[in-house]
Amino acid sequence: MGIAHGSHRPVWKDEEVERIKTEIGTHRVTAVASIEGIPARQFQTIRAELKGVAELKVARNTLIHRALKELDRKALKLFESVEGQTALIFTDRNPFMLFKLLEKSKRPAPAKAGDIASKDIVVKKGPTSFKPGPIVGELQNVGIPAAIERGKIVIRETRTVAKAGEKINARVADMLQRLEIHPMEVGLYLGAAYDGDILFTPQDLRIDEQAYADQFVTAVSNALRLSVNIEYPTELTATTLIQRGFREASNVAIKAEIFEPEVLGILLAMGQQNALAIVRILPTKALDPELVALKGTGRTPPKPAEETA
CATH of segment(s) 121-182: 3.90.105.20
Q: Which of 13, 34, 161, 139 is nearest to 86 (CA)?
A: 34
User: Which of 35-49, 74-88, 225-239 is the least confident region?
Assistant: 74-88
Identify the CA nearest to 189 among candidates 33, 29, 85, 59.
33
pLDDT value at position 304? 47
The pLDDT assigned to 309 comes to 36
Q: Taking all residues of the chain, what is their mean pLDDT, rounded to a whole number?
A: 83
Evaluate if pTM is beyond 0.85: no
Q: Where are the alpha helices (DSSP H) in 169-305?
A: 170-178, 202-205, 209-229, 238-255, 261-281, 289-294
| CATH dotted code for 11-106+187-206 | 3.30.70.1730
Give pLDDT tens digits for 94-105: 999 999 989 888
- Average pLDDT (218-222) is 92
Q: What are the boundaries of each domain within the chain?
A: 11-106+187-206, 121-182, 214-294
> H or E segment at 29?
strand 29-34
Query: CA 157 to CA 147: how far, in whole Å?
Result: 10
Q: What is the pLDDT of residues 268-292, one digit of tens each?
A: 888 878 877 887 777 877 777 777 7
How far apart, in whole angstroms, are the C-alpha atoms of residue 60 and residue 62? 5
Least confident span in 54-68, 195-209, 284-298: 284-298
Q: How far is CA 258 from the centre of its chain?
A: 55
- Which pLDDT value is given to residue 122? 92
- Beta-ladder partners of 87: 33, 58
pLDDT value at residue 150 = 81
